[in-house]
């Protein structure tokens, strides 16, 4: 229930009649008339936040001064960073981040009972939807059985987790679960859950309309910004607090206006557009800022393309990438089966309350930049970061330069015919000369045939992720590329693992209606599941012979995926270079199988008559794509596929759970364990203490992502997490992934900083989760942390720029805290991870005065003390005393990134959930 608590702003509440329905709403124009300020020039994205202030103004948490600050924001050119308390309407989760969130809620029920409270006090106050989308892994592919076999394996691996989630659905109020095999949470949100304008009853039983808003436990929650729904990713910790009624503390953000003009040209896709946008905004610098898209170009931008751009807001660093309500919004709501009364309300409310993007829409922005969409060219991004934009015609050369950098400057991209020595069996490896120096090529012997792979061989080509599979234009485009290639007799290269994992069942419906799934199947892009798959590291194992060749010869294998993330070590442990591309390009790259080629000029293969086939020969026109989209993407398909979205298949319905208020934690479970956060927790908060003589656990470089800190993919038997499972008789085949085991803190602690590509600068030339132990010898980060814990030694981490970029995973902060880290000192932080660290009681600090880990000459042999924390204020500068290995001391100023007053309280309590739990216990 939305509780309307307005006091001084009650006179801003008015009534709107639409057809037969009459609703109340909080009017921004009425707020102006009441003397609270002129809000007419605010961007629509910020008006959504302002409406939230009007609706929840109570004189305490939200004050009239908070509301007036929005008028000052416009007067000051888009800047007024005061602290506000924001309450989203709902919460969205996926299972990787949702399981630990439900684990925390279950543990909080135990905790509040221990503090003398009632278990029923721990219930979501706002609607929560959890979509199971991260579990399916691509074990089977390239055949008609792939989907069913992967689903069967998914249930086999994850039954403990599914039983737990189903228990949560029964035990908690306002909590719904969308079963496996339905789709990706962001696509389900876009196509079904989101309403653009929400309605609910207030404490008096009156119907109130207000903007649909949410936070999600996945950074790509921003996808729904394309539907004019303000949402962004938060850590599970912050989401749990929001569920329990705790407002989100934030500063009034700056809003960057991104003006789009022109329209896309023939041969380009929404993926090309979003990769260009990512590059431009990363270069601009928009961390902690809203981005709002405006301009005449929006008149030529379908909502599916807008959602693609909104989706990748985490990749360009913004809190959100918002598109205001306009005619295209209404068109999409109608196409996807939303109720006509709701569509009429959206239009009427948006026009009445100043949210509509009309011809006269001209708000004030903090800053702006502009892109003529007619200048966008085909592109990919990689091999390590989404912002590493490469024009498609330069991709082959760029890969060659990347390889030269790894191979010590030698050009080893020259391709030569390899002759097999002898008859049958496995040939001996030969050294193949390159242009400068030499490099070994890998020989592969499989049932599909014998062949040679080398640096640049594409071993994964995956149509995956909500970013692009939500967009029928690029999905139909991929199907048409497959159709044309099939007609010419082209097939995928035998070393390429191909897969198709749509974000919803609607995609399958229109691909089948267009007859394109048959063409995709012919190229082995068979349906493998409805979920994130390759994009979050669930690419599954490569053929053992290919994996062996890559590792035996240290080859640089390549993946091409239609996803949003390509960080090191994320996609597959066997793949070193990862490229983001549109779905049609994923199909095209599977045909050539080699990143060294210039796909825009070189032949992809030969047709039945031996003639060269080029990319232009199989690329569809925009008209071909648009005609098929118009014909096959129908309102009826959306309504049919979402009719029983919460019911699930027979497997889900057969999952049995017990009915209980508190969870009966299974002692032998390796998936779900009661976390230690609330055990023996005192009733009252403590104080923030200075840090004395802390040891350094790791020194990390720039752009260390949450994938580096808390990987989601597979792990080896020799890793601390693998050893933990082996000790409990879990065979390697049943390890599953880090992401699937986020409900077990024992596994996740051991997986923290365990990415195979992370580099701790304390150890020269070493990759992986290693550091120096108390004795100075190399050991795993987990073992070193536990050894320091035995001595009650606090720990710190040093890092470079953009620390914590990427996914919103709370375990990057939870694991850090459980390892005993008290502070992270970095050059700067990404938004979500900074918030998560505070939410777990870890204090983030930033270097000042030009100091960095390198300028200070840090080696990891230092001890660190930090003063002034017992009287700390938000954003205060304090002293850090670094005692070097030779006994000398360097005193530096560091900026405390506890940003708001409420965050001070969170740290005092040991974390935000401790704060909420004690607050509820006192209320009882």
DSSP 327-348: HHHHHHHHHTT--HHHHHHHHH
pLDDT of the residue at 469: 87
Length of the chain equals 924
Q: Is the predicted pLDDT of residue 280 greater than 60, yes or no?
A: yes
Element (H, E) at 131: strand 128-131
| pLDDT band, very low/low/confident/very high, at 9 (cuts 50, 70, 90) | low
**Main-chain phi, psi angles of 440, to 5 degrees:** -75, 140
If one counts every other C-beta atom within 10 angstroms of the C-beta of residue 130, the result is 24
CATH topology of domain 90-375: Aconitase; domain 3 (3.30.499)
Cα–Cα dist 12/28, whole Å = 7
Quote the distance between the C-alpha of residue 507 and its chain's center.
21
Which of the 8 DSSP states describes residue 59?
S
Alpha carbon distance 90, 572 (integer Å): 34
Alpha carbons within 13 angstroms on the beta-carbon side of residue 680 total: 1
**pLDDT value for 147:** 92
Q: Percentage of residues in the chain with pLDDT exceeding 70?
A: 95
Q: What are the residues whose beta carbons fall under 8 Å from the beta carbon of 513, sequence distance 6 or more? A: 631, 632, 637
Cα 341–chain centre separation? 33
State what percent of residues in the chain have pLDDT above 90: 77
Predicted confidence (pLDDT) per residue in 409-460, tens digit: 765 444 433 333 333 444 444 343 343 333 457 778 777 678 889 999 999 9
Residue with tokens 């996609």: 571
Q: What are phi and psi of 899, to 5 degrees?
A: -85, -25
Q: For residue 265, give every residue at least 6 positions away whose Cβ sits within 8 Å of its Cβ, in sequence order, or none.
A: 373, 374, 376
Where does residue 171 rank: exposed (0-12), middle (13-18), buried (19+ CB within 10 A)?
buried
Structure tokens at 162: 């599914």
Do 592 and 459 touch, CB atoms closer than 8 A?
no
DSSP letter assigned to residue 69: H
- Provide the angle, in degrees to the nearest 10, between the axes of the packed helices 236-243 and 831-839: 70
CA-wise closest residue to 159 among 714, 671, 747, 731: 671
> In 262-411, which ranges are E strands?
290-294, 320-322, 367-372, 379-381, 389-391
CATH superfamily ID and name for 691-710+752-923: Aconitase, domain 4 (3.20.19.10)
Residue limits of CATH 3.20.19.10 in the chain:
691-710+752-923
Task: Please count the CA atoms within 13 angstroms of the CA of 373 that sit on its side-chain side.
Answer: 29
User: pLDDT-derived band of residue 739, with 50, 70 and 90 as boundaries?
Assistant: confident
pLDDT of 221 reads 95
Average confidence (pLDDT) over 210-220? 94
pLDDT greater at residue 484 or residue 551:
484
Q: Based on the number of CB atoms within 10 Å of its own CB, is 411 exposed (0-12), middle (13-18) or buried (19 or more)?
A: middle
Dist CA 713 CA 746 (whole Å): 16
What is residue 10's predicted lDDT score, i.e. its pLDDT?
66
Helix (H) or strand (E) holding 108: helix 95-114
**How many beta carbons lie within 10 A of that of residue 868, not counting itself?**
15
Question: With contact defined as beta carbons under 8 Å apart, do 655 and 162 qualify?
Answer: yes
Does 302 score more than 50 pLDDT? yes
Residue among 475, 503, 481 nearest 583 (CA): 475
Distance CA 135, CA 536 (A): 10
CB 635, CB 335: distance < 8 Å: yes
In contact, 722 and 823? CB cutoff 8 Å: no
- Closest Cα partner for 795 from 784, 811, 779? 784
**Which of 369, 351, 214, 358 has the alpha carbon at shortest distance from 283?**
369
Token look-up 């039954």 returns: 159
**Residue 324 in contact with residue 44, Cβ under 8 Å?**
yes
Q: What is the C-alpha separation between 284 and 149, in angstroms, rounded? A: 45
pLDDT of residue 423: 39
Residue pointed to by tokens 């949470």: 185
For 370-415, write each residue's pLDDT tens digit.
Answer: 999 999 999 999 999 989 999 999 999 999 999 988 887 765 444 4
Average pLDDT value for residue range 313-331? 96
140 alpha carbon, distance to own chain's centre: 25
More confident residue, 410 or 766: 766
Query: Tokens at residue 115, please?
Result: 């503090």
Kindly report, residue by residue over 572-589, the tens digit of the pLDDT: 989 999 999 999 999 999
- Which pLDDT score, from 0 to 100, does residue 853 have? 97
CB atoms within 10 A of CB 1: 11
CATH topology of domain 442-636: Aconitase; domain 3 (3.30.499)
Question: How far is it, in rounded angstroms, from Cα 380 to Cα 397?
Answer: 13
Burial of 58: CB neighbours in 10 Å, binned 0-12, 13-18, 19+: middle
Per-residue pLDDT at 411: 54
Q: Where does the pLDDT of residue 764 fall: very low under 50, low under 70, confident under 90, or very high at 90 and above?
A: very high
> Residue 12: CB partners within 8 Å, gap ≥ 6?
6, 26, 27, 28, 30, 31, 34, 36, 54
Contacts (Cβ under 8 Å, ≥6 apart) of 447: none
Would the pLDDT of 621 be above 70? yes
Contact, 493 vs 611, CB < 8 A? no
Helix (H) or strand (E) holding 569: none
Q: Does position 864 have pLDDT exceeding 70, yes or no?
A: yes
Higher pLDDT, 420 or 21: 21
| SS3 of residue 187 by DSSP | helix
The answer for residues whose C-beta is within 8 angstroms of residue 857's C-beta and 6 or more apart is: 884
- Model pTM? 0.85
| Of 118, 98, 99, nearest in space to 108 by CA | 118
Q: Cα 780 vs. chain centroid, distance in angstroms?
A: 27
* Ranges of CATH 3.30.499.10 domains, the chain: 90-375, 442-636
Give the pLDDT confidence of 479-502 residue by residue, as tens digits.
Answer: 999 999 999 999 999 999 999 999
| Predicted pLDDT of residue 55 | 95
**Choice among 345-359, 575-589, 671-685 with the minimum mean pLDDT:** 671-685
pLDDT of residue 426: 43
State the pLDDT at residue 451: 86
The contacts of residue 198 (CB under 8 Å, 6+ apart) are 89, 90, 209, 210, 211, 212, 213
Q: What is the pLDDT of residue 871?
A: 95
For the chain, what is the largest distance between any 2 Cα atoms, rounded to a whole number of angstroms?
Answer: 90
pLDDT of 436 reads 38
Mean pLDDT computed over 599-623? 96
Nearest Cα to Cα of residue 755 among 813, 784, 808, 713 = 713
| The token pair that represents 790 in the structure block | 């035995």
Average pLDDT score over residue span 72-77: 92
């Amino acid at each position: 229930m939305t509780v309307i608590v307005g006091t001084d702003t009650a006179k801003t509440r008015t009534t709107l009649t639409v057809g037969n329905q009459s609703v109340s709403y909080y009017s921004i124009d009425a707020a102006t008339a009441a003397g609270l300020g002129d809000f007419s020039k605010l961007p629509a994205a910020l008006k959504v936040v302002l409406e939230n202030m009007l609706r929840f103004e109570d004189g305490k948490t939200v004050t009239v001064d908070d509301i007036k600050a929005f008028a000052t924001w416009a007067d000051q050119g888009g800047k007024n960073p005061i602290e506000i308390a924001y309450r989203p309407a709902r919460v969205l989760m996926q299972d990787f981040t949702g399981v630990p969130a439900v684990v925390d809620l279950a543990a909080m029920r135990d905790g509040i009972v221990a503090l003398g409270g009632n278990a029923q006090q721990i219930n979501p106050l706002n609607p929560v939807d959890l979509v199971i989308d991260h579990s399916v892994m691509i074990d089977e592919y390239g055949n008609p059985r792939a989907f069913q076999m992967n689903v069967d394996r998914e249930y086999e691996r994850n039954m403990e987790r599914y039983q737990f989630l189903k228990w949560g659905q029964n035990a908690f109020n306002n909590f719904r679960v969308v079963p496996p095999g339905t789709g990706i949470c962001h696509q389900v949100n876009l196509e079904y859950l989101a309403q653009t304008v929400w309605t609910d009853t207030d404490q008096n039983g009156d119907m109130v309309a207000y903007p649909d808003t949410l936070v999600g436990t996945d950074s790509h929650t921003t996808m729904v910004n394309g539907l004019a729904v303000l949402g962004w990713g938060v850590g599970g910790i912050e989401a749990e607090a929001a569920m329990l009624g705790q407002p989100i503390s934030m500063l009034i953000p700056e809003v960057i206006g991104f003006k789009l003009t022109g329209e896309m040209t023939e041969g380009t896709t929404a993926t090309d557009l979003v990769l260009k946008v990512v590059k431009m905004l990363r270069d601009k610098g928009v961390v902690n800022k809203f981005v709002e898209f405006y301009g005449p170009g929006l008149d030529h931008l379908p909502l599916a393309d807008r959602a693609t751009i909104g989706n990748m807001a985490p990749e360009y660093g913004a809190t959100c990438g918002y598109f205001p309500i306009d005619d295209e919004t209404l068109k999409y709501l109608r196409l996807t089966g939303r109720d006509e009364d709701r569509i009429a309300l959206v239009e009427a409310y948006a026009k009445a309350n100043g949210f509509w993007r009309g011809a006269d829409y001209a708000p004030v922005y903090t800053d702006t930049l502009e892109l003529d969409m007619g200048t966008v060219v085909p592109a990919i991004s990689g091999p390590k970061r989404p912002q590493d934009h490469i024009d498609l015609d330069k991709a082959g050369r760029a890969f060659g330069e990347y390889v030269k950098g790894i191979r010590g400057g030698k050009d080893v991209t020259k391709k030569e015919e390899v002759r097999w020595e002898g008859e049958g069996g496995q040939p001996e490896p030969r050294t193949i000369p390159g242009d400068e120096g030499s490099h070994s090529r890998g020989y592969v012997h499989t049932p599909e045939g014998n062949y040679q792979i080398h640096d640049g061989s594409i071993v994964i080509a995956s149509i995956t992720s909500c970013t692009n599979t939500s967009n029928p234009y690029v999905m139909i485009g991929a199907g048409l590329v497959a159709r044309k290639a099939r007609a010419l007799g082209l097939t995928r290269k035998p070393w390429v693992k191909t897969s198709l994992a749509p974000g919803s069942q609607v995609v399958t419906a229109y691909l089948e209606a267009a007859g394109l799934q048959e063409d995709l199947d012919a190229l082995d892009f068979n349906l493998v599941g409805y979920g994130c798959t390759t994009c979050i590291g669930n690419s599954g194992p490569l053929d053992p012979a290919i994996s062996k060749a890559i590792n035996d010869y240290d080859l640089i294998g390549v993946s091409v995926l239609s996803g949003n993330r390509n960080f090191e070590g994320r996609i597959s442990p066997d793949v070193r270079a990862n490229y983001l591309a549109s779905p049609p390009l994923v199909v095209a790259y599977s045909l050539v199988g080699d990143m060294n080629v210039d796909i825009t000029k070189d032949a992809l293969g030969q047709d039945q008559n031996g003639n060269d086939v080029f990319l232009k020969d199989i690329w569809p026109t925009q008209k071909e794509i648009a005609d098929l989209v118009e014909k096959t993407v129908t309102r009826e398909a959306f309504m049919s596929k979402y009719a029983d979205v919460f019911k699930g298949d027979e497997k889900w319905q057969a999952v049995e759970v017990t009915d209980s208020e508190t969870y009966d934690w299974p002692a032998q479970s390796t998936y779900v364990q009661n976390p230690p956060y609330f055990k023996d927790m005192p009733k009252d908060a403590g104080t923030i203490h200075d840090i004395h003589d802390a040891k350094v656990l790791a020194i990390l470089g720039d752009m260390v992502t949450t994938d580096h800190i808390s990987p989601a993919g597979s792990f080896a038997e020799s890793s601390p997490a693998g050893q933990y499972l082996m000790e409990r008789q879990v065979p390697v085949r049943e390890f599953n992934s880090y992401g699937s085991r986020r409900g077990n803190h024992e596994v996740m602690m051991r997986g923290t900083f365990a990415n195979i590509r992370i580099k701790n600068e304390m150890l020269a030339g070493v990759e992986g989760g290693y550091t120096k132990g108390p004795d100075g010898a190399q050991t795993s980060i987990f073992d070193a942390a536990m050894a320091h814990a035995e001595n009650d030694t606090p720990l710190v981490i040093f890092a470079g720029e953009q620390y914590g970029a990427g996914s919103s995973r709370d375990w990057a902060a939870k694991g850090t805290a459980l390892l005993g880290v008290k502070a992270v000192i970095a050059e700067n932080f990404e938004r979500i991870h900074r918030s998560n660290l505070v939410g777990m009681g870890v204090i983030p600090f930033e270097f000042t005065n030009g100091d960095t880990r390198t300028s200070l000459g840090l080696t990891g042999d230092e001890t660190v003390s930090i003063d002034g924390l017992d009287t700390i204020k938000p954003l205060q500068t304090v002293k850090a005393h670094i005692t070097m290995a030779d006994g000398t001391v360097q005193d530096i100023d560091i900026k405390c990134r506890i940003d708001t007053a409420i965050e001070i309280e969170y740290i005092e309590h040991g974390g935000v959930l401790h704060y909420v739990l004690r607050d509820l216990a006192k209320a009882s």
